[in-house]
Amino acid sequence: MKEKRKLINILGIETSCDETAAAIVADGKVVKSSIIASQDKLHEKYGGVVPEIASRAHIEKIYPVISKAIERAGVNKEDIDAIAVANQPGLTVALIVGVTAAKTLSFAWGKPLIAINHLHAHLQSAILVEANPQLPAVALIVSGGHTCLYDYHRPLEPELLGSTIDDAAGEAFDKVAGILKLSYPGGPAIEEIAKKGNPDAIRFPRSMLGEGSLDFSFSGIKTAVLYYCHGQDMKGENKVDSMSKQEIADIAASFQSAVIDVLVKKTELAAEKIGAKTILVGGGVAANTELRNRLEQMCGSADPPKKLLVAPKRYCTDNAVMVASLGYYKFKAGLFADLTLEPQASG
Ligand code: KG4
Ligand code: ZN
C-alpha cells in the first residue's frame, strides 16, 4: 500500500500591530488552529494603536497564545516542521515580541525559522481560497497600515505596483470614525452605520494622483470629512454632537463610497496594465462587504470577466493563519532565516 505523505505543519506567529496571533497550518491550507488575542479594548480610548501598550500586551499574551494554538491543533512540538514569523513591516516594538518568541522556540526545539513579510501574508490569505490562481494576477492589500497593489506573477515575490503616499485606507476609516465619534476600530463601525446612509449625499474628493498612477492618497478625504464636521477654518464647533443619526450615516456612506471608488478604479487600472486574469484581495478593509460587492461587479463586467479571490472574512484582519500558510511555500523553497533575524518597521 502506498504510504501517506506526512503533512508539513507550520507554526505561524503574528505580532506586527495589535493582534497577538498564532496558528498551525498544514501544507499551506489545512487550518488546524488559529488563536487571536485582540487588543482593541486597550487602544479604544486612544482612537488608534499605542505602540508601547501593544508591545506590553504582546509580551503577556505571546506564550499563552502559542501554547493554545499547539494544543488546539492536537499536535506536539515534534510534529511542527518550522516556525514562521511576521518580521516586517509593522511596529518595531510589537514585531520584536513575535520575532523573539519565534527565535527562542526555533533554537530550543531545533526547528527552522522562516521570516514572513506581513503584507505578503495578507496576500496569501486570498490564496487560501484557491491555491493556484490563474496568472497574471493583481493583488490589492488594504489594511490599517498599508494600501498596496501588487503584480502577483511570482508567488513568493509579489512585485509592488503602487502604494499609499500618506494614510492607508484602513487608517482613514479609523480616523473618520474618530471624527464621527463612532467606535474603534473604525472600519466595522463605519460599514455598519453606512448601511442606513445615502452614499451620494456628500461628494467627497476621490484622489487619483494623476492619470495612470497606481499610488493612493487618503489624507485628503479624511481632511474633507474633518472640514465638513468642523467648518473650513476648523474654528467652528464639531457639528457631530448635534447631528442626527441619519446625517452621520450619510457622511459615513459618502466617505465609504469615495474610498471604495478609488480602490476599485486603481485595481481596475492595475489589472488593465498587466492583463490580469485574477484579482486577489486581502487586509482588514477587505472585510468590507460594500468593497467586496463593488470589486465583484468590476470583475464581472470586465471583458473578459476576471476571477475575484477575496480572503475569507475571518482571515482579512491580522491573523497567523496567513503567516503559517505563506511559511509553507517558503519552507518548500528552502527559504529559511537564521537567529540573527530582526524586526523591520518598513518592508
Ligand atoms: O489588516 P489589519 O487587521 O491590520 C493591519 O495590518 O493594519 O487591518 C485593520 C484595519 C483597521 O483600520 C480597520 O478599521 C479596518 O482594517 N477594517 C475595516 C473593516 N474591518 C476592519 N475597514 C472597513 N470595513 C470593515 N468591515
Ligand atoms: Zn495586517
Per residue in 68-122, pLDDT (tens digit) is 999 999 999 999 999 999 999 999 999 999 999 999 999 999 999 999 999 999 9
Same domain? 24 vs 52: yes
* 63, three cell numbers: 506564550
Query: φ and ψ at 22, to 5 degrees?
Result: -145, 150
95 and 166 in a single domain? The answer is no
Q: Is the CB of 117 under 6 A from ligand 1?
A: no
Q: What's the pLDDT tens digit per position in 298-345? A: 999 999 999 999 999 999 999 999 999 999 999 999 999 999 999 999
339 in a structural domain: no
CA-174 nearest atom, ligand 1: 14
Q: Into how many domains does the chain fold?
A: 2
The boundaries of the domain holding residue 74 are 9-123+317-332
- Output the domain CATH number for residue 257: 3.30.420.40
**Same domain, residue pair 46 and 172:** no
Q: Could you tell me if 68 and 181 lie in one domain?
A: no
CB of 89 closer than 6 angstroms to any ligand 1 atom: no
Question: How many whole angstroms from 166 Cα to the centroid of ligand 1?
Answer: 16
> Which residues, in sequence order, are CB contacts of 125 under 8 Å at separation 6+?
282, 311, 312, 315, 316, 319, 321, 322, 325
The bridge status of strand 113-117 relative to strand 278-282 is unpaired
Structure confidence by residue, pLDDT tens digits, 235-292: 767 789 899 999 999 999 999 999 999 999 999 999 999 999 999 999 999 999 999 9
> Do 263 and 326 fall within a single domain?
no
Residues 269 and 326 in one domain: no
| Domain match, 194 and 299 both | yes
List the residue whose alpha carbon is closest to atom 3 of ligand 1: 317
pLDDT of residue 157: 87
- Give yes or no: residues 31 and 156 share one domain: no
Whether 213 is covered by a domain: the verdict is yes
Q: What 8-state DSSP symbol labels residue 158? A: P
For the record, the C-alpha cell of 103 comes out as: 527565535
How far apart, in whole angstroms, are the C-alpha atoms of residue 147 and residue 203? 22
**Shortest-distance ligand to the CA of residue 171:** 1
- Residue 40 within a domain: yes
For residue 105, count other CB atoms closer than 10 A to its CB: 20
Question: How remote is the CA of residue 65 from the centroid of ligand 1, in Å?
Answer: 21
Can you tell me the distance from the alpha carbon of 84 to that of 115, in angstroms, rounded to the nearest whole number? 6
Q: Which of 164, 317, 318, 322 to probe ligand 1 with, by most ligand atoms within 8 A of CB? A: 317
Claim to verify: residue 138 and residue 15 sit in the same structural domain? no
Q: What is the DSSP letter of 307?
A: E
- The structure's pTM equals 0.95
Q: Cα(132) to centroid of ligand 2, in Å? A: 23
300 and 321: one domain? no
